[in-house]
A = this chain, B = another copy of it.
Amino acid sequence: MGNDTDTPEARLAALGIILPEPAAPIASYVPSVEVGGVIYISGQLPFVDGVVMTGRLGEDRDVAFGQAAARACGIMLVAQMKAALGSLDRVARIVKLGVFISSAGTFTDQPLVANGASDLMINVFGDLGRHARSAVGVPVLPRGAAVEIDAIVAVRPA
């Protein structure tokens, strides 16, 4: 596994990120399901200290805000991985992020916004964090969130 600084947990610490309590689903579903060596993580909203980052890109929010919201979604995803897997060392690969960005009809920089989550994955998981992705605009998200992201993650046996 290399030395301690090579682990996702060590990288989180170096980034000064303390994983939040993973969000309880706000409805009749579960945070993640594992099947055939892959976990599917439910869409995560950008909670920071329990408050959702709201707004719409190209209207009342700019790219920097959107990137921070995408990063917050990413941190919630990592918290769900930790809750589901016990240790982040079990992450074999971040496979795919599905990024939904609340957007005015004139806003076309969804890729820049989504980078807030993508960069986090690479910072935390290194080459294992390099993922496929789609990023699209949507008119509105649950609770008025600025960004929602779901994920597919390949895992190692416990």
What is A's interface to B at a CB cutoff of 8 Å?
25-33, 35-38, 40-43, 56, 92-93, 95-98, 100, 103-112, 114-115, 118-119, 122, 130-144, 148, 150, 152, 154
Smallest CB gap from A100: residue in B:
B136
Q: Pick the contact of A42 from B31, B134, B142, B148 — CB < 8 Å?
A: B134
Given contacts A33-B131, A35-B95, contact A108 B140 (CB under 8 A): yes
A95/B33 in contact, CB under 8 A: yes
Q: Do B148 and A142 have beta carbons less than 8 Å apart?
A: no
- The A contact surface, by secondary structure, is mixed
Number of identical monomers bound together in the oligomeric complex = 3
When distances are taken between beta carbons in the complex, the residues of chain B under 8 Å from A110 are 140-142
Cβ contact within 8 Å between A42 and B133: yes
CA distance A135 to B45 in the complex (A): 11
Q: Select A108's contact among B92, B98, B144, beta carbons within 8 Å.
A: B144
A104 to chain B: which residues have CB within 8 Å?
Answer: 139-140
Q: How far is the CA of A18 from the CA of B36 in the complex (A)?
A: 32
